[in-house]
Each structure stands twice: as C-alpha cells, then as structure tokens.
C-alpha cells in the first residue's frame, strides 16, 4: 500500500479494486497524472471524475455547502457503492470536474481501496481520482486480469495494478446529485432509490428508468422522472459482441439469464446467476467472456423488479444501445 501510494504521489497511475468495479487511480490534485487517466482510457476530457477519499471526514476538502441530507447518506452508506455530487471546493479543479461547479466524491468499501487511500493520505495525498479502469465506452473491469487486458497496452512500467480478486458488487456506484433540495439519482447502483428516500426522508428524483410495482410489490414496467438528454441511450458499458435484449437465443449466440431459465440447444451459456446480486456480480465478466470467445451476439434475459435489478437493466440498455 505504501509503495503504491508513493507511485501515486510521483504522478503514476494505480489501478485498484473497489467493491463495485476496478478504478484507474491518480492523485486528484495532479493535473498531469489526471491527464494520463484520460489518455489511457481514451476518454473525452470534459467527462468528470469521481474523487475517492478514505473517510467521510475528508469530504470538506473537496466539497462545500454540503446539505444535511447528503451527510445522512454518507453516514448511512459510506464506505459503500455510492457517489455524491456536491458543490466543489477550491481543491476540485476543472481537470477533475470537467469544468462543472460540482464534484463527485466516494468512500469505497474495499480493504485494498481503503488501505491505499489511507496510505496515500499518510503520504500527504488528498484524494484519488478514479474512473472505471476500462477504455472509454467498454465494459468496466471486475478483476485485475480484466484491467490488464483493457489497459495493459496503455500503461507504463511505473504504473501499478493492485489485484484484489473479483469485485463483490459488480456494477458501478449509485450516483446522487446533492446540489438541489431533493436528491437526484443520476446513475442507479446497489444503493437503491428506496434506500436513498428512506435515509433522507425526502422525495427523490430519478433520471433513469426505474421499476414501477403494484401494491403487492409485483413488477409492472420501467419508467423515469426525467430522461437525461445526453447519454440516456449512448452506447456504453458495451462489449464488442452485440447485446440483444428481449429475444430468444439461437444456436451460436451467447446467453446470460437467471439459473432457472434453460439453455436452448447450441446456445453458449455464459452465466447462470441464482439471484439479482449474483447477476450484477457476474454480468461484466460474462460479457467479457463473450468477446474472448469471439461471439458476435449475446442474448440477455433481464432481471425484473427493484433494487440492484434496476441498475442491471440500466447498464444492459446502454450496452444494447437501444436494441
């Protein structure tokens, strides 16, 4: 940890595991190191980065005018799979925020991520900027092997990849915009809309498709409070293989579905999760496996219902690019 933290202090990149996906880390105050993140990812430089901190006590370094409901969320769900978007402090420069007046902050829940953040703090660091450690638009990596496959060709001998095995959650953090009177969820994740409204006691605003259920809790349909204009259906989280939703798989196609759904003859089963949590955990590695096997199409039977299933459907809709 101390050695990896020194690499960060020296301006090198350190890829590290979190409970959601692997991040590609740099010193969040070092403009040159952060510029390398964009280069290595091939990502447009106006896309803001999440700053990772060791504990909620450091939130004041990066943000100001933090609303009370954001403090509640931090107390309830940090360390954890949640990013809060807050008004930025002086420390959060344009090269982190994509020139926006806000900054995304997260305390990850992973022994290696926290160990690295603590060692970095001890060495004088303020926070680690880290997007998911994949090339822009691709599937996020949920193992160190996947990081090396994605980015190995773009990293230098000085950069570091920390191996923490497979990620527990498997899909990216819930992003909550805390700059208005009520929380606006920008990206669904393991911290569900119910958890956010219960923690804050406030109505919430959702910018993604969420599940509508009837009075008995049965899933009816997906709907959004507001569809985000940009990025709502952009091709993202996507493997090379074409992702098809709502189709019956045919011979030669890859197939991802809950365990109780059978595999038709000739179809290549890539994952058979037992529940929605396992679905999230194995989804990205199954999509990577489709590419590794050179499959051109993958059919996915989406999980229905609320909770993490909403996040899974969100990522699949983007991976399928509206198909």
Number of Cβ within a 10 Å radius of residue 237: 25
Decide if 293 contacts 268 (C-beta within 8 A). Answer: yes
Q: Any contact of residue 18 with Mg ion (CB under 5 A)?
A: no
* Residue of 285, 288, 293 lying closest to 253 (CA atoms): 293
Q: How far is the CB of 133 from ligand TXA (least distance, A)?
A: 7
Query: What DSSP designation does 48 have?
Result: -
By CB under 5 A, the residues from 97 to 116 that bind Mg ion are: none
Among residues 34, 85, 107, 257, which is the contact residue for ligand TXA, using CB under 6 A?
85
Look-up: residue for tokens 């204009």? 229
What's the Cα-to-Cα distance from 67 to each of 63, 85, 127, rounded to whole Å?
A: 11, 11, 21
For tokens 């990066």, the residue is 62
Q: Which does 85 bind (CB under 5 to 8 A by kind): ligand TXA, Mg ion, none?
A: ligand TXA
Q: Which one of Mg ion, ligand TXA, none is in contact with 119 (Cβ closer than 5 to 8 A by kind)?
A: none
Is there a contact between 25 and 110 (Cβ–Cβ < 8 Å)?
no
Closer residue to Mg ion (CB): 237 or 279? 237
Q: Give the count of residues interacting with Mg ion (CB under 5 A).
A: 1
> In the chain, count of helices (H) and strands (E)?
10, 17
- In terms of Cα–Cα distance, which of 128, 165, 175 is closest to 19? 165
- Closest separation in Å from C-beta 23 to ligand TXA: 3
Is 103 among the residues that bind ligand TXA (CB under 6 A)? Answer: yes
The residues, ordered by sequence, that sit 6+ positions from 78 with a Cβ below 8 Å of its Cβ are 55, 56, 106, 107, 109
CA distances 126 to 17, 39, 285, 313, Å, are 19, 22, 32, 35
**CB-nearer residue toward ligand TXA: 50 or 309:** 50
Q: Choose which of 74, 80, 127, 131 interacts with ligand TXA (CB under 6 A).
A: 131
Total interface residues for ligand TXA by CB under 6 A: 24
102 binds, among Mg ion, ligand TXA, none (CB under 5 to 8 A by kind): ligand TXA
What residues from 36 to 65 belong to the interface with ligand TXA (CB under 6 A)? 47-50
The stretch among 70-78, 128-136, 160-168, 311-319 that binds ligand TXA (CB under 6 A) is: 128-136
Length of the chain measured in residues: 323
132 binds Mg ion (CB under 5 A): yes
Q: Enumerate binding residues for ligand TXA (CB under 6 A).
A: 18, 20-21, 23, 47-50, 83, 85, 97, 100, 102-104, 106, 108, 130-132, 172-173, 175, 186
Chain positions contacting Mg ion, by CB under 5 A: 132
């Amino acid at each position: 940890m101390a050695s990896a933290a020194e690499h960060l202090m020296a301006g090198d990149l350190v890829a590290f595991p979190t409970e959601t996906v692997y991040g590609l880390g740099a010193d969040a105050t070092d403009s040159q190191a952060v510029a390398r993140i964009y280069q290595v990812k091939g990502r447009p430089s106006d896309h803001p980065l999440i700053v990772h901190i060791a504990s909620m006590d450091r939130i004041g370094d990066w943000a100001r005018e933090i609303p009370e409901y954001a403090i509640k969320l931090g107390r309830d769900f940090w360390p954890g799979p949640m990013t809060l978007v807050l008004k930025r402090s002086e420390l959060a420069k344009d090269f982190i925020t994509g020139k926006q007046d806000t900054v995304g902050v997260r305390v990850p829940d992973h022994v290696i991520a926290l160990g690295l953040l603590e060692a970095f703090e001890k060495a004088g660091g303020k926070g680690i900027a880290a997007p998911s450690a994949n090339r822009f638009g691709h599937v996020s990596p949920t193992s160190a092997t996947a990081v090396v496959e994605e980015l190995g060709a773009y990293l230098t001998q000085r950069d570091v990849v920390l191996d923490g095995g497979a990620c527990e959650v498997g899909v990216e953090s819930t992003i909550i915009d805390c700059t208005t009177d009520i929380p606006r969820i920008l990206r669904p994740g393991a911290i569900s809309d119910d958890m956010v409204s219960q923690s804050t006691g406030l109505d919430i605003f959702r910018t993604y498709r969420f599940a509508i259920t009837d009075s008995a809790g049965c899933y009816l349909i997906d709907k959004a409070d507001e569809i985000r204009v940009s990025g709502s259906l952009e091709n993202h989280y996507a493997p090379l293989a074409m992702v098809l939703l709502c189709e019956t798989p045919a011979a030669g196609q890859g197939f991802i579905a809950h365990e109780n759904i059978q595999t038709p003859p000739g179809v290549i089963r890539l994952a058979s999760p037992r529940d929605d949590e396992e679905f999230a955990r194995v989804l990205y590695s199954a999509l990577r496996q489709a590419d590794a096997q050179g499959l051109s199409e993958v059919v996915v039977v989406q999980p229905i219902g609320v909770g993490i299933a909403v996040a899974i459907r969100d990522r699949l809709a983007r991976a399928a690019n509206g198909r």
